[in-house]
Every structure is written in structure tokens, then in C-alpha cells.
């Protein structure tokens, strides 16, 4: 056994540094991508179970134990279906549109820190990178709507474009508040600035910005109650009305990957990411060496996972609870409510930091 390990270690060390570097990066990317896709697969199951329970149904329970095989059955069904390209559509854009929605949703995971040391690219402008990539997802939706050459799809694309442009501004302003409080654009540093128990999280001091960011996130992913781009009772399925098989599966995957992304970003910006809520509590400190309690106090990836799962649950909860917003009300909420709230709170935060008041007394301005 030890011979094999020695041989493997020896082979690894004999490789040129460039190859070592590339192999590490590629394996990190594969690890994150596979985990994200698995989480996406099981969140479809989670969604159907949650909404089923909320509507006094059981949800999927036929495939495998507790219906856990359902996502795989769905994937196989979608993979073996025929992809139909409408005759008068723009073929190239029709095919490339689902890819344009999926790629930014997956690429944004490059800067998400999973715990204190695991992140694919630890870059300084991480927050800007995330903002830039999440703003790109709208291209796939617009192009899909246009390339389909159908009125329903086109209406869906128009609605989605207006909605995403409106909510992106509020989202950006909410993040300005976060970066002011953390003093950094690096996502790892933002989490580290919130260390030391849940009283140090940005959740309470930045509560208005948290609500603005989270609701804008729900709007940005085109989820209920902001799903006017799909609106199945008005415009059938909106921008993806003519998509079938794998092309539809890609849209579906992108939507859920975006939901997981928004959940993890909200956890990182406002709920301390991988940090434990009980960190720095004096009465827990003596037990820091014990196996289970030590882990609870120390924080790490499981805490991030719990927070992501909570926000995913909230997505489904909102979907099962609220009726769809009317289009003009969506525009009003985005432009006339969220943008003023976030600007006012940024000003409040700036003044408090300047006068050395409250949680920002330590900020240097």
C-alpha cells in the first residue's frame, strides 16, 4: 500500500510545475461543477417534495427509496427526447441560447469560497466578477425569445430583459453596502469580516440591504412570484416555449444553478458564509476540542451548505405561497422601492461610519 502511495507521490512530484498547476485547477473545477450539478439535480426533488407537502400532496415517491431517483429519471427522459428546431427560427442563436444562460451560471462558482481555504480563484475583485457574470445570463433568455420566432417567446424575452435590468441596479447598490462594511471586494475577506458569531454577521446591521438583495435575487432568477418571463398561464412558457429535450434541460439546469448561486451569495454576503453562528461564544470555548461541538463552533463547508439549503427552501416557499406579480407592479417595486431603500441605507451606513457610530465604528473612511 505505502509503495503505491510513494509511487503516486513520486510521479506527481516529477511532473513539471505547469502541469501540476493545471491538473490542480482542472480537478478543482471538476469537483465544484459536479457538486453543483448534483445539488441542482436534488434541488428539483427537494422543490417538488416541499411544494407537494405545502399543497397536502406527497410529491415524487415512485423512483427509488423515497422517490430519490426522480431527478435521474427526469434527466434520462429529457436526454432521450428529440430536440425540435422550429422551421422559421434562427437556427444558430436558437441552439446557442441555452448555453449562454448556463455558462455564466456555472462560471460564477469560480470565486465562491466554500470554506477558509477552498476556492478555485481567490481574486481581489471577486464581488465585481460575480456581478458581471450574473448580468450575462439575460442574453440567453433574450436570444432564445428572439430566435424562436414566436410571439409568446418574444413577449417573455422582453419582460425578462426589462425585469433583469431593473433589479440588477438594486442588487448592485445592496452589494455596495456590503463592500463598505467589509472593506473588501474579495469574497473570502467579506466572510472573514463577519467572523465571531452571528452578532457580527451583516444580516442585522444591513437588514434593508439583505431584503433588497434577496428579493432582487429571486427576481433575477425569474422565479415565482417574479416569473413573468415564463408565466405559463399567460404566455405558455415564455422564452422557452419551443425548446424540448436537452435544450430545455439546459435552461432548467441554468435556472436552478442560478438559484443555488444566489442562495450561496446571500449566505456569503449577509450570513457569514462558512462561518459558524456560535463562533466566539465564551461558554462554548472550553468544548472546542470535542468532536461534534468543536465542529459546530469551528464552522466550515457544512455551515455554508445549511445556509444555502435554507435559502433554497425559501425559494420554494415563496413559489408555493405568492401569486405572480403583475408586470407594472414588478417595475414599480424595482425602480421606486428597492433603489431608494438601498441608496438611503448606503447613506446611513456612510454617515454612521464617518461619525464612528454603531457596528461600523471601526471602519476607516
Partner 1 sequence: MGMLLHTVLFYTFATILIGAALGVVFSRNPVHAIMFLVLAFFQSAMLWMLAEAEFLAIVLVLVYVGAVMVLFLFVVMMLDINVEAVRKGLDRYAPLGIAVALLMAFELVQLIWLRGSAEFGSGGFVPYPEDYNNTKALGSVLYTEHVYAFEIAAVILLLAIVAAITLTMRKRPGLKVQNIAQQVAVRAKDRLRIVKMDAEKKP
Q: Which long-range contacts (CB under 8 A, 24 or more apart) does 61-69 make?
A: none
Q: Which residues are CB-contacts of 34 (< 8 A; sequence separation ≥ 6)?
A: none
| Residue from the set 35, 75, 85, 123 that interacts with partner 1 by CB under 8 A | 123
User: SS3 letters for 66-127?
Assistant: HHCCHHHHHHHHHHCCCCCCCCCCCHHHHHHHHHHHHHHHHHHHHHCCCCCCCCCCCCCCHH
| Binding track over 8-47 against partner 1, x by CB under 8 A | ----------x-----------------------------
Binding residues for partner 1 restricted to 89-108, rule: CB under 8 A: 90, 93
Q: Which residues are CB-contacts of 4 (< 8 A; sequence separation ≥ 6)?
A: none
| Binding track over 179-218 against partner 1, x by CB under 8 A | ------x---------------------------------
Choice between 161 and 320, CB closer to partner 1: 161
Q: How far is the CB of 162 from partner 1 (least distance, A)?
A: 8
Contact window for partner 1 (CB under 8 A) among 120-128, 189-197, 217-225, 311-319: 120-128
Binding residues for partner 1 restricted to 125-184, rule: CB under 8 A: 125, 128-129, 131-132, 135-136, 138-139, 142-143, 146, 154, 157-158, 161-162, 164-165, 168
Integer Cα distance of 107 and 104 in angstroms: 5
**DSSP label of 149:** T
Integer Cα distance of 184 and 208 in angstroms: 20
Size of the site for partner 1 (CB under 8 A): 28
Q: Counting contacts by CB under 8 A, is residue 365 touching partner 1? A: no
Element at 276 (helix H, strand E): none
Q: How far is the CB of 229 from partner 1 (least distance, A)?
A: 14
Choice between 143 and 247, CB closer to partner 1: 143
Give how far the C-alpha of residue 70 lies from the chain's centroid of Cα atoms, to the nearest Å.
23
| Residue from the set 35, 332, 348, 352 that interacts with partner 1 by CB under 8 A | 332
Give the residue among 117, 120, 154, 157 at the shortest CA–CA distance from 137.
157
250 in Cβ contact with 137 (< 8 Å): no
Choice between 78 and 265, CB closer to partner 1: 265
Residues in contact with partner 1 by the rule CB under 8 A: 18, 90, 93, 123-125, 128-129, 131-132, 135-136, 138-139, 142-143, 146, 154, 157-158, 161-162, 164-165, 168, 185, 329, 332
Amino acid at each position: 500500500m505505502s509503495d503505491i502511495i510513494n509511487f503516486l507521490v513520486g510521479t506527481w512530484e516529477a511532473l513539471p510545475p505547469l502541469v501540476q498547476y493545471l491538473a490542480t485547477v482542472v480537478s478543482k473545477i471538476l469537483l465544484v461543477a459536479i457538486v453543483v450539478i448534483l445539488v441542482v439535480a436534488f434541488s428539483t426533488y427537494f422543490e417538488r417534495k416541499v411544494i407537494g407537502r405545502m399543497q397536502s400532496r406527497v410529491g415524487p415517491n415512485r423512483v427509488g427509496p423515497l422517490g430519490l431517483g426522480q431527478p435521474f429519471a427526469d434527466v434520462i427522459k429529457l436526454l432521450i427526447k428529440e430536440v425540435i428546431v422550429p422551421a422559421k427560427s434562427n437556427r444558430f442563436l436558437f441552439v446557442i441560447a441555452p448555453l449562454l444562460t448556463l455558462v455564466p451560471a456555472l462560471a460564477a462558482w469560480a470565486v465562491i469560497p466554500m470554506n477558509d481555504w477552498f476556492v478555485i480563484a481567490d481574486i481581489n475583485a471577486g464581488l465585481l466578477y460575480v456581478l458581471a457574470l450574473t448580468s450575462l445570463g439575460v442574453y440567453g433568455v433574450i436570444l432564445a425569445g428572439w430566435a424562436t420566432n414566436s410571439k409568446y417567446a418574444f413577449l417573455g424575452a422582453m419582460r425578462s430583459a426589462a425585469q433583469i435590468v431593473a433589479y440588477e441596479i438594486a442588487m448592485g447598490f445592496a452589494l455596495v453596502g456590503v463592500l463598505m462594511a467589509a472593506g473588501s471586494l474579495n469574497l473570502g475577506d467579506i466572510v472573514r469580516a463577519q467572523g465571531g458569531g452571528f452578532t457580527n454577521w451583516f444580516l442585522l446591521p444591513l437588514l434593508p440591504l439583505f431584503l433588497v438583495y434577496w428579493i432582487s435575487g429571486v427576481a433575477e432568477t425569474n422565479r415565482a412570484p417574479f416569473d413573468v418571463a415564463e408565466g405559463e398561464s399567460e404566455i405558455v412558457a415564455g422564452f422557452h416555449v419551443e425548446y424540448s429535450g436537452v435544450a430545455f434541460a439546459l435552461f432548467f439546469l441554468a435556472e436552478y444553478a442560478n438559484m443555488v448561486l444566489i442562495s450561496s451569495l446571500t449566505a456569503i454576503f449577509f450570513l457569514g458564509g462558512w462561518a459558524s453562528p456560535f463562533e466566539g461564544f465564551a461558554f462554548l470555548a472550553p468544548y472546542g476540542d470535542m468532536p461534534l461541538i468543536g465542529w459546530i463552533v469551528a464552522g466550515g463547508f457544512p455551515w455554508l451548505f445549511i445556509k444555502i439549503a435554507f435559502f433554497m427552501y425559501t425559494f420554494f416557499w415563496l413559489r408555493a405561497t405568492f401569486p405572480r406579480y403583475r408586470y407594472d407592479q414588478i417595475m414599480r417595486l424595482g425602480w421606486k422601492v428597492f433603489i431608494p431603500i438601498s441608496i438611503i441605507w448606503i447613506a446611513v451606513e456612510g454617515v454612521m461610519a464617518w461619525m464612528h457610530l454603531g457596528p461600523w465604528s471601526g471602519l476607516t473612511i
